[in-house]
Amino acid sequence: MFDAPIEDWYVWLGVAAVSVAVLGVAVGLPTAAPPDAAAVADTVDRVAASPPGSMATVDLRASTVRIDRARIGLRGEGGTTHAVIAFGPMTPASTDGRLERVAAGDHPRDVFDSPAAFADAAATARNRSTSWRPAPETLTVRRVSWEGVDVLLVG
């Protein structure tokens, strides 16, 4: 009595429209999970709260990364995620080759002329405008202290 006859054209049109909508939603879903920026921020916070000389690495599993003083952004197939660190400020080491060497394990005295030069390079790196850059497979986090200059290098 209240059923629509299956022969009516508008029933088939409605079924087709719903099918196309469901297909559109299924195709639009990401095929991978978003990168885990929170895990990276936790690693940074753990090193920042540790004594000077502490170092850690973390897998990124992202295509691009953005690091500024207090925030990490990761972008991958599954989307973009951001996380704020609790301790800091972070110093992006990838903006200066000398800072990259220190982040990799060199002592600052082997790379810089003085603690003041180290502090200046770190301040310049922190204050530089950040942008998305290709992400390495792993990110290195190192807390360095040299004659009163305490720097949290991330790169």
- pLDDT tens per residue, the chain (155 residues)? 566 566 666 776 777 788 777 777 767 666 678 899 999 999 999 999 999 999 999 999 899 999 999 999 999 988 999 999 998 799 999 878 899 999 999 999 999 999 999 999 999 999 988 899 999 999 999 999 999 999 999 98
d(CA 141, CA 56): 5
- How much is the pLDDT for 29? 65
pTM for the model: 0.78
Identify the CA nearest to 96 among candidates 123, 63, 71, 70.
Answer: 123
Q: How far apart, in whole angstroms, are the C-alpha atoms of residue 130 and residue 64?
A: 12
Place of tokens 């972070």: 90
Rounded Cα distance between 119 and 113, Å, is 11
